[in-house]
Structure formats: C-alpha cells, structure tokens
Structure 1
Amino acid sequence: MLNSVIVVDDEASIRTAIEQWLSLSGFKVQLFARAEDCLAQVPRDFPGVILSDVRMPGLGGLQLLERLHQQDPDLPVILLTGHGDVPMAVEAMRNGAYDFLEKPFTPQHLMSSLGRALDKRHLVLENRRLHEQADFKAQLEGTLLGMSQGLQQLRRQVLDLASLPVNVLIRGETGSGKERVARCLHDFGPRADKPFVALNCAAIPEALFEAELFGHESGAFTGAQGKRIGKLEYANGGTLFLDEIESMPLAQQAKLLRVIQEHTLERLGANQSIEVDLRIIAATKPDLLEEARAGRFREDLAYRLNVAELRLAPLRERREDIPLLFEHFARHAAERLGRTAPALSGAQLARLLAHDWPGNVRELANAAERHALGLDSPNLASAPAGQSLVEQMEAFEAQCLRAALRQHQGEIKGVMETLQVPRRTLNEKMQRHGLVREDFLLRE
C-alpha cells in the first residue's frame, strides 16, 4: 500500500505537527530538517509523496524539486509556502510540482492533497511495473528459447520466482540448462546488480571445499598465504549458484545449513562472524530427498534449499523446441566463425527430431556448431528411443506450424496460405499443440 510521506522542513515544530497528523491517519512518515539529507535517502521508485517547505537554509524546496525530478520526473512533490511565496509556488507547479499548500493549512486540506498525490503515484508505479514485466518477458523469451508448453511454463515460473526472496532448487539432466535458468532468476530479480557466483560442487576436492566456500585467514592451514574471501562471502548481497549440490561433502552441508539459518559465516582460522545476505540457487540431477534417505545428503538442508523447485524437461520431451534451438546455435556459431550457416534439409531436420539427445541442449549446441562448419553430426540416431511414428509426426507438425506463425508474425491468413490448410483445421492443430498467435505477433 502506498502510504509513505517524506516531510522536509527546517522548523521542528512544523515537522512534529505534520508527523502527528499523518501518523494518526496511518501514514508512514520520514522527517528531514535539510533537503540535502532527504536527497540522499529517496530511492527512484519511492512509494509515496515528498512534502517540502520552500524556504530553507542551504538547498531550498525549489532546488529540491529540481534535483528529485532529475532522478524521477513523476515523483509527486507538494510545496509548503508562506503567503509571499505563492507566485513562486505557482511557477513551480508549472515546472512539475504536484501542489502547494499555503501556511497555515488545515489537516483536512493536507490529507486531501496527499490522497490525490498518492493515487497518482500508485498509477505511475503500477504502469512502470507492467512495462518492466513486459520487458522482462521479452528478454526472457530471448534467453530461455523454446515454444513448447513446458518452456512457456518454465519462463512464467522464472518470472514469478525471480523477485521473491526464496531459495530455489533446479532439477534437470546434465546439459539441460540449469545454470542458464539460475542466471535468469538472478538477472530478472532485485539482486541483478549484485554478484552472481557459480560453484560446481563436484569439481572441488573435499579437502579444499571448506576454504573455497568459507574463505580463510592467513595461516589458517598449511599453505594458506594471506586472507581469502570464500564464495559465500563474495556472493553477499547477490546470488550463490551451487551446481551438482548432491556432491557437497556432508560436513560442509552442515556448515552451509548454519549459514542459511543464521545468515552468518566464519572464515577458516577466524573467530569473528560475518553477516551475509544472499540467495542460494542449487542444481541437482537426482532427487535430494532420495539422496537423504540413502544417507548421502542432509534432509534438513534439502528442505532449506527446496523452498521452490523448477524442473527442466530433457530435450527429448520437448522435441518441438529442437529446430528453434538448433537454428539459434547454428546462427551464432556461424557469426562467430565469419560464415553463413547452411540451410537445413528436410532429411537433416528429420534426423534432429528423431535423435534422443542424451546430452540435451549442450549436445544440440555442439551439433549446431558442426553444422555451421559444414560438418555432419555422425552420432545422430535415425529414430528416438521409444517414440512412435505418430509422435515423430506430431513433433514435426508442431514445428511446421511454429515456423509458419513466426514467418507471418501471427497473421493467420498468411499461415493458412503457406501451409494450405483451412481456418478450422489450423485452429484445431494450433490448439492441440498449445500454440497461440499472440506469441508470434511483431513486438514494437
């Protein structure tokens, strides 16, 4: 709820009176005697209104208005004026002030002006939020590629979770894109301007794990030359991504659990606790609770990490995404190599759709790079394991529909002409494959 008001006035009696009026009406009030102090405290998306006197020592109300609007032109600023300052205040309103109140003013007059200003602020911030969501959605579609229902659901989940202060567990096979999803959770959330630190738990020898995670002081153990900041401390304020978390030694699991619970850590060889504020995103291939039942993972840590869970489908379960991903990887590889990627033949596309992709997206990217070099991928199977002819045909049909919708930017008439199908048939097929024309419209 928008109910924040900042009051800037050099007269203590006026500040106190306004605070009493506003507090009784449920407002959250901040008081400043100097405009300079106010400027240092106001964030760009401040959810409220500034109430400022015009005449103050140092920076005056008009200068404060100008500085605030350099940061946020839509921030409502109400000026408090003496009788002789009214013409000046009217001019200030032409320059962006929301309103002015001539002293002495009544509480009712103040509440009326604040109410209108807060309503306006609410609309501005809501509009910004909607635009930001639309921008994030477009950026995410260009980062987590795919039009399958599973990928569309994953993108929605990432957008929902990115802004929430909860730990996330990502489950998926090797090469399915777990680190990319973790990076999106960081980049599209409020910690985006803070560090994103990735650590592969399977790549660190057990003897070095604690120092890598917690850091150490000079002389903490043989060979410890100088102080070293660990991954947990380095990620302070941001996100720590722990890949293959199931490989973390049990002794370090207990220490990680303590960090999560108490938000503090101690470097090796130190006695002083360090406060840390970080989000942990962990990735695993096996089920951590099954690992816990087998005695290989702490059950309490599994629950702490799995506040929210994202499951990444293997590529063989979303074959309709294969052509789009292959085209993306081949185009980027060709650009990097200064070449033009050759077009896919029908037979090559059929082989891509038929292959089982045990290495998932990573394997597909390798095949696309070979294609950009003009080389064939000899390991592509002629038929997927366990997939019937009908399933192969369905995947191919979905890709043809998607390609036509993309070509015509969602314009149904053009799609009908290209595929030579009647409107009713096209509608039925699009519905069956979970395709919506709005997803293909040209973005302005």
Structure 2
Amino acid sequence: MADDRPLVLFVDDEQPVRASVEQWLGLSGFQVYVFDDPRRTLEYVGPDFPGVLLSDVKMPGMDGLDLLRETQSRDADLPVILLTGHGDVAMAVEAMRQGAYDFLEKPFLPERLSESVRRASEKRRLIMENRRLRRQMSNDSGIASRLLGTSAAIESLRRDLAELAKADVNVVIVGETGTGKEMVARCLHDFGPRAGNAFVAINCAAVPETMFEAEFFGSEAGAFTGATGQRIGKLEYAHRGTLFLDEIESMPLVLQAKVLRSLQEKVVERLGSHQSVPADARIVSAAKLDLSAAVRGGGFREDLYYRLNVAELVVPPLRERRSDIPLLFEFFSTEAARRHEREPRALSSSELAALMAHDWPGNVRELKNAAERHALGLGGRLTASQVRQDAPSPGLPLAAQVAGFERQAIETAFEACGGDVQAVVELLDVPRRTLNEKMTRYAIDRRRYLRGE
C-alpha cells in the first residue's frame, strides 16, 4: 500500500456499489481498496493503520455494526463511515453511539461521500501525527520533543537551536508574545554544556527599577532599608549555568552599564559589599522587538547589545506556521482532556476552519488556552468568536480585517478547487502572479487542499 494518497478500505457485498464507490473516490484523490467480506479488512486494521474504513451495514455474516465494534476494540480512534440502504434513526443513533464517524443513507450524493471521507482522512492524519509526536516525546529527550510542529519554519528553528545549544555563546531570542521564547531558552540550556547547572530566569519588565540592582546583583544585610540579611542575586546564582533575561528591552537604561560591566568581567558585587564573587553565566536574552532598532533609537546600549547578541534566534509567530495549528491544537486539547480526566473531543470541519482563519495574536499561548477550553467543553462547539477570546483587543484595524477576509477567501477557494492553483485563479479572477504573492504573504500552502489530503 505504498502510496501518498489518503487510504480508504471499502467493504460492500454488492459488486456494482464497490465499483462505483472505488471509481468516484479514486477520482477524488483517494487510494481505495475494496472488499466483499468484512473479515478481510481486519487484516489491515490496527493502531498503525493510517486510513479510513468505509463499510456497508447490511451484509451476510459479519455486518457493518459488528465490523465497527471489532475495529473500535482494536483502535477506538479509527474513523469508520457506515452506509446503508435500510436507513432508520435507531440504527444511525446506535452506530454513532458505538463510535462511527459518520452514517450515510443510500442513495447518497457522491460529493457528500467524498467530503465525509476527506474529513475523516484529515482526522486520521492528525491522530497518527499526534501519536508519532507522543512516541517521540516519550522516547526522545531531544529538542523535537519540546518544540512541536512539522512546518518548514519550526524545523529550521530546531536545526539552528541544536547548533547554538552546543556553542555556549550568548544568544538573543526574538519573537512575539506567546511564541515560546522561554522554551527556546530552556532548550539552549538543557542541550548545552551547562545543562548540569542552574537555569535562572528574570523578567526585566516585572522588576521595579528601584529593586533591579538588588535582584540582579544581590545585597548584603543593611545595604538598604529592609535588607535584613544577605541575598544572592540572579547573576551570581546562575554561576556556571544560564541566566535568562526575558523582555530585555525593558531593562532600565541607567542600569545597562552596570550589567555590562558584570558580564564583561564575569564577577558581581552585591549591594553593600566591595568583594567581587564569580558570576560566569551564559546569557540568553529574549525580546519582543528587534534590539538593533532599540539601539538606533537610543533605548538600548550598543555595547551591551553586542555583548548579548553573539547569535540570534527568531521564533516565528503562529500565523507564519499555519500548517502546525491543527496538530498543536489536537496535542494541547488531548493533553488537557487527560489532565482533567475528560474524553478527548474531536474537531469538526467548521471548528478547524475557525482555527485556521484566526490570526492568533497571542500565538501558541493563545492556541493552548483555546485548546483547554475545547477540552473542557466550555461554551459548546468551538466558534470563531470563542477562538478570539484571548485576543488582546476586541477589534482589529481595518487593514487587518481586510487581510483576514482576503486570506479566508483564498483558502475557501483552494478548498473548493481541491488545491488546483489554475482553478483558483479562474474562480477569483486574479492574475497568477497576484495569487502567488498573496499565498506567500498569508503563508497559504496549496498542498493542504489537495483532494483527500
């Protein structure tokens, strides 16, 4: 069964039905294997089976409901679509209760069948990818088990991160809020030569300016009002380990010179003391903006910038790695369901569309919150308005709203045209070059919409 098309096993005791369904699904982009005996399909069904099972209900010997029960005992997440010419409500309810993915009554519209199979195939693909990631996380302690995703952007980040982790140099991590900058920093520490020592984090934006020196350098008893005992500063505590300076752009300018001196000399003097103590730490900084721009604007010292920025890692926002959204959401929601002892809830096609249409200003953190709500069943089915609950403001600028509508229109066209670029050009009545530019701008991958993928 070596084929990159989505796989479908179809069982029906009527040869004409087998022939017509095989032909239609084959033309729709699926790899189809047909059987006249349900028991033969069981040779292929198991936890590693990557496809979808499509079965008639009324058959001699083992019927479709028996087949459903048997496949569910082998893999409860396997999508099974049942067909029947004897449709009744009771049978449909029982089939869905037992775990059937869908239930179609003959005669059915071919388009309805292919759409159901396509959605089931996408669900199965996500399940299999999720399982692969779980195995990887349990068997692999590497970076890939921390930074999840299969997009080109995240794979490139993992490669650069693996190289820099071994280099033991100071690194600046640039990325929007919620992209996972601290996770990247922890990977630099955990997979580098200082992994056996402390990882110390300090949020420069959260420390009051009057307390920054004491927090960073430490203090002796009596150094200032309220200093009743000796306190070890963050830099000293990170000796031989890693100091993570989050939101480094918020560090007060007047303190940057003192920080630079300690980093250059690899020593620190606690407030109220004249004795220098060793403080040799790898410095990993994180910023929401390009620090070089802050240097040009006079808000950040140039000499400190070059001390910190031996190398730079850019963490892509979620909107630039849209192909990772379904996988990450499925992973987070499954983890949340397990944590709260709930049954995992599957995503419908409309819910998936709502996820893909959102811009995710809060990035992975926002996606994780949405997945948690979904796992808990808060608010019922996931809608576009619920997806937007974590957005930092109730509205968006007109340009952003227009861009969102434009991207959604292009994605809808690709969905309707099965990923055919020329068909989308004709449907939207735009030049091919214009479409290519917009696909690049909105990170739209036409392969997502190829029939059956």
TM-score (structure 2 length as normaliser): 0.56
Which residue does 1:233 correspond to in 2?
236
**What is the CA deviation profile of residues 261-304 of structure 1, one whole-angstrom value per residue up to 9, with x for unaligned ones?**
11111100110111221100000011112112222111111111
Which residue does 1:374 correspond to in 2?
377
CA distance in 2, matches of 1:142, 1:207: 40
CA distance in 2, matches of 1:280, 1:199: 11
The percentage of aligned residue pairs carrying the same residue is 59
Q: Which amino acid aligns with 1:195?
A: A
Is residue 146 from structure 1 mapped to residue 130 from structure 2 by the alignment?
A: no
Asked if the contact 2:266–2:279 (Cα under 8 Å) also holds between the matched residues in 1, the reply is: yes
Name the CA shift for 1:277/1:184 in 2 (closer, same or farther; >3 Å). same
Aligned pairs for 1:224-373 within 5 A: 224-373=227-376
CA distance in 2, matches of 1:386, 1:170: 31
**What is the CA deviation profile of residues 168-196 of structure 1, one whole-angstrom value per residue up to 9, with x for unaligned ones?**
00000001100011011111111111100
CA distance in 2, matches of 1:385, 1:224: 57
Structure with higher Rg: it is 1
Which residue does 1:26 correspond to in 2?
none
Asked if the contact 1:264–1:276 (Cα under 8 Å) also holds between the matched residues in 2, the reply is: yes
SS of 2:169's equivalent in the other structure is coil
Asked if the contact 1:315–1:360 (Cα under 8 Å) also holds between the matched residues in 2, the reply is: yes
Which residue does 2:179 correspond to in 1?
176
SS of 1:280's equivalent in the other structure is strand
Any stretches of 5+ residues in structure 1 without a counterpart? Answer: 1-134, 400-430, 435-444
Aligned pairs for 1:59-78 within 5 A: none
**What is the CA deviation profile of residues 31-87 of structure 1, one whole-angstrom value per residue up to 9, with x for unaligned ones?**
xxxxxxxxxxxxxxxxxxxxxxxxxxxxxxxxxxxxxxxxxxxxxxxxxxxxxxxxx
Aligned pairs for 1:379-394 within 5 A: 379-380=386-387, 384=404, 387=407, 389-390=409-410
Asked if the contact 1:353–1:395 (Cα under 8 Å) also holds between the matched residues in 2, the reply is: no
Asked if the contact 1:216–1:227 (Cα under 8 Å) also holds between the matched residues in 2, the reply is: yes
Which residue does 1:189 correspond to in 2?
192
Asked if the contact 1:356–1:385 (Cα under 8 Å) also holds between the matched residues in 2, the reply is: no
Asked if the contact 1:320–1:396 (Cα under 8 Å) also holds between the matched residues in 2, the reply is: no
CA distance in 2, matches of 1:173, 1:238: 26
CA distance in 2, matches of 1:385, 1:288: 32
Any stretches of 5+ residues in structure 2 without a counterpart? Answer: 1-137, 389-400, 420-444, 449-453
1:223 to 221, 226, 238: 226
Name the CA shift for 1:392/1:161 in 2 (closer, same or farther; >3 Å). farther
Aligned pairs for 1:382-421 within 5 A: 384=404, 387=407, 389-390=409-410
Displacement of 1:386 after TM fit? 5.2
| Higher RCO (CA < 8 A, seq sep 6+) | 2
Displacement of 1:365 after TM fit? 0.4
Which residue does 1:39 correspond to in 2?
none
Aligned pairs for 1:85-234 within 5 A: 139-234=142-237
Q: Which consecutive aligned stretches of 4+ in structure 1 deviate over 4 angstroms post-superposition?
A: 135-138, 391-399, 431-434
Aligned length: 270
Displacement of 1:204 after TM fit? 0.6
Displacement of 1:354 after TM fit? 0.7
